Structure 1
Amino acid sequence: MNDSEPVRLGFIGAGGICEQRHLPNLAKMPGVELVAVCNRSPESSRRVQEKWGFARTADDWRQIIEANDVDAVFIGTWPYLHCELSLAALAADKHVFCQARMCMDWAEACQMVAAAGSHPEQVTMVCPSPFRVRWERTIRELLASERFGRLLSVAVNSMTAANRDPHQISWRERRELSGLNILQVGIYAETLNAWCGDYLSLTATTTTPLQKFDAQRRPVEIQIPQTVAITGTLGGGVLSTEFHTGLAAEYERAEIVLCGSAATCRVDLLAQQVELFPAASSSKTGEVIDSVGDEWQVEAEFLAAVRSA
């Protein structure tokens, strides 16, 4: 594909992150043509079409996969369709951008990786962790510096109220829609592995203590844990501890703490900054070493890869 040709996109699923991040960014880019969208209902498809300027809507996702005027497919559905849609798009010689969470389970992930390997001429991309992308350069530089020293341990604290309402059950709490994905475990795992190396071992304890009810106030079994405690080792034998819960009332936390031989670093995802606490300092207040990070370029990187394919 030469630079003068537009990259023609079809969207299957266009809620949540697609409208918050992907579509606004794509709308600013030259050489992008929004060809077709298929959402959960004809009404929501038309709303997305009118808001973002898609040329048409589709009543069935297969119409987008099979369309001759679509070069790449953005998959923004819930995870239960990610594998099926990705395999179908690759089989139809389409480039694929798949929203995280990647899929339902390990078996589906293996199918997707194998399919991507069988279509090396097609670009495949899973949406990365936004805070991994934003702070990765800063953290990598810090971990390689004498200022931080040798990495000794890592701690994650992820606390929200996302699961706290007993009368609200989101798709993230329904295994038939979300698969084996649990809270924000995956997005932090991706980030830790990118920054600190792969897990060498893992142990987890899970619990689901809050009873939930449907619209008729009947008890509903929630199969996805509401709280998870994880311990493990990363590359080099570095100990990692993680606490994830969706039951925190008025006490949201989102942070990664890296302890080094010369300093401790805290990545505060709510305050959107990276702080450093030198071991030799008597101050209890950390030094903010980055409050900007790197700009989100994910959509641009995907389009550049498609043009180069």
Structure 2
Amino acid sequence: MAEEPIRVGLIGAGGNVRNRHIPGFQKVAACEMVAVSNRTIESGQRVADQFQIPRVYRHWQELLEDDSIHAVCIGTWPYMHRAMTLAALEKGKHVLTEARMASTAQEARDMLEASRRHSHLVCQLTPTSTSYKIDNVLKQMISNGFLGELLSVEMQRLQTGFADFGGDLHWRHDWALSGYNTLNIGASYESMMRWLGRGTRVMAMAKVHVPCRRKANGDLTSVSIPDHVDILYELANGAQVHMRMSATTGLSSGNQLWMHGTEGTIYVDHQQNVFAGRRGDTELSEVPNPPEQQAYYRVEEQFTNAIRGTEEVTMVPFETGVHYMEWTEAVIRSAQTGQAVYLPL
């Protein structure tokens, strides 16, 4: 007997949903995208026409009333994730939601609690895909003791362009839409958790270098989300992690990562090539990282496998989302108050 298809409804169909989630679901056997609800009925219809999705709903709540839908993919901005997730679970639907998890740590905790009340339903967050290439090799080296005892970490995520004065306003510049996430610091911390575990104490300083941006109608509006932040946080073993994130570092060297231990050093360059050396070496050497051993994007496959009961969600469960949401909020609280913030919140 043929396997019953998993029928998915899309709530929000922005660039990441169209470029990643829809193609991902299309590759899954016995999976159908059957409905979409976007910000307007017209934009929803365009997505439906492009991807042959049979039904378009004017409002996301109407989509949730469709009893034929088994699961929803929530692709809206973070400020709607809590409300939509809770409503979808109440309607008995599995939930895959875009990152970041929510606007605040409390909203994320609400989502986790709701998922536990509906434990028969699968809940998953879209993981950051920026570190897939190096995830496996770093985890293996660290778990095998290459570093010895970890002492310190330096991570920089720097855009190479100059400050965009008078540039366009993006939803990520609006607290009400994006929540506490700043410069994708939550995504960077999510990767760091995979390699090193969770932080215990956070201190941060932040700055708004571009105080005004231009709305769609051409008017300038003030911006209060920082575009430059320095973060110092501590790991369980006492090692210190320094993260420097900026959108205003013109002609910078871009992204880099250094991990220093008692017995070894690991360096990742801006192209995600891995170099390492041990005590007694005179220089770093490149670490082999063949493509067949690297992690890769398979979110929709894991989500549907979990619904069928053949796989557990590892990338990323709601529990992990709560951790990065609490850390992200701790960064902002510290930057605003000048005080260290301890985790968990």
The two structures have a TM-score, normalised by structure 1, of: 0.91
Deviates more, 1:273-282 or 1:118-127: 273-282
Q: Which residue of 1 aligns with 2:182?
A: 182
Query: Does the CA-based 8 Å contact 1:143-1:150 persist in structure 2?
Result: no
Deviates more, 1:192-201 or 1:227-236: 192-201
List per-residue Cα deviations over 1:76-130 (Å, max 9, x = no partner): 0111111110010001010000100111011211111111111101100111121
* Alignment coverage as a number of residue pairs: 306
Displacement, 1:291? 5.3
Structure 1 unpaired stretches of 5+: none
Displacement, 1:213? 3.6
Q: Percent of counterpart pairs with the same letter?
A: 29
What is the distance in 2 between the residues matched to 1:87 and 1:162? 41
Q: Which residue of 1 aligns with 2:323?
A: none
Displacement, 1:230? 0.5
Structure 2 unpaired stretches of 5+: 311-345
Displacement, 1:149? 2.3
Q: Which residue of 1 aligns with 2:48?
A: 49
Map 1:38-187 → 2, pairs under 5 A: 38-160=37-159, 161=161, 164-187=164-187
Matched, 1:208 2:208: yes
Q: Which residue type is aligned with residue 112 of structure 1?
A: M
What is the distance in 1 between the residues matched to 2:242 and 2:206? 14
Q: Which residue of 2 aligns with 1:192?
A: 192
What SS is found at the alignment partner of 2:255?
Answer: strand
Q: Which residue type is aligned with residue 183 of structure 1?
A: L
Q: Which residue of 2 aligns with 1:37?
A: 36
Q: Which residue type is aligned with residue 191 of structure 1?
A: S
Query: Does the CA-based 8 Å contact 2:28-2:300 persist in structure 1?
Result: no
Q: Which residue type is aligned with residue 173 of structure 2?
A: E
Q: Which residue type is aligned with residue 86 of structure 2?
A: L
What is the distance in 1 between the residues matched to 2:98 and 2:156? 24
What is the distance in 1 between the residues matched to 2:110 and 2:54? 32
- Kindly report the root-mean-square deviation, in angstroms, between the aligned alpha carbons of the 2 structures: 2.2
CA 31–100 in structure 1, closer or farther in 2 if over 3 Å, else same: same
Q: Which residue of 2 aligns with 1:296?
A: 297
Q: Which residue of 1 aligns with 2:228?
A: 227
CA 236–304 in structure 1, closer or farther in 2 if over 3 Å, else same: same
Query: Does the CA-based 8 Å contact 1:228-1:245 persist in structure 2?
Result: yes
Q: Which residue of 1 aligns with 2:7?
A: 8
What SS is found at the alignment partner of 1:80?
Answer: helix
Q: Which residue type is aligned with residue 300 of structure 2?
A: E
